[in-house]
Structure 1
């Protein structure tokens, strides 16, 4: 089953805390997941300052700069994994390095029948 592990952290603190992971550590973990057959995709995201939010209301397009909501933590990246069940997905997510300074949201991917 596919699970999306969303990496959240306070962008201003992501790389400044004593337990902050560096890119090399994150890449090493992604390579570990890939070798074990669990990794489907993983990418860091650019700064939340580069985000654009798109909405359609009453048939009209609205485009705004920034994320959709004011929050303390921002989406920093993701890992798309293949796990047997939620328990295994949680165990894999717990080893994602930014979990030490932020949080990892684990969500099952819903299949679309198209």
Structure 2
């Protein structure tokens, strides 16, 4: 089954890291992604650019409405995602717990919904 691991944290915490700690976090994250890939568990993993670059789009009455930033003001921001293949939710949670950013933020694990007829 496919699961999406949504990586949440506070961007300010990332900016507060020393250059050495930031480089280690990047290296640890890439190493974890490679390990998951070698196990056949990784589908895709990506970090996201700053929330300052985000745009939110809605369509109302046929018109596109675009605003700057995320839809809701929250303390934590979506920093990235890891899509995995796991046998069940317990394995998915174990994989998510190993994501290096879990030490700084929160990993939300959600099963992928199979749209009927797709």
TM-score w.r.t. length of structure 1? 0.93
Moved over 3 A (4+): 17-21
Query: What is the TM-score of this pair, normalised by structure 2?
Result: 0.90
Unaligned 5+ runs, structure 2: none
CA RMSD across the alignment: 1.6
Aligned counterparts of 1:58 and 1:100: Cα–Cα separation in 2: 43
Q: Quote how far apart the aligned CAs of 1:99 are.
A: 0.4
1:3-40 Cα distance to aligned partner (Å, 9 max, x none): 00000000111253588762111000000100111000
- Once residues 63 and 11 of structure 2 are traced to their aligned partners in structure 1, the CA distance between those partners, rounded to angstroms, is 32
Return the offset for 1:104: 0.1
Count of residues in Structure 1 that have an aligned counterpart in Structure 2: 114
3-state SS of 1:14 partner: helix
Q: What is residue 63 of structure 2 aligned with on the other side?
A: 60
Q: Which moved more, 1:56-65 or 1:42-51?
A: 56-65
In 2, the alpha carbon distance for the partners of 1:22 and 1:89 equals 21
Indicate the residue corresponding to 1:5 in structure 2: 5
Deviation at 1:56, TM superposition (A): 1.1
Q: Which is worse superposed, 6-15 or 30-39?
A: 6-15
1:99 aligned partner: 102
Shift in Å, 1:58: 2.5
Distance 1:45 1:54 in 2: 17
Q: After alignment, is 19-28 or 3-12 more displaced?
A: 19-28
- Relative to its length, the structure with more helix (as a share) is 2
Tell which deviates more after alignment, 14-23 or 63-72.
14-23
Structure 1 window deviating more from structure 2 (49-58 vs 70-79): it is 49-58
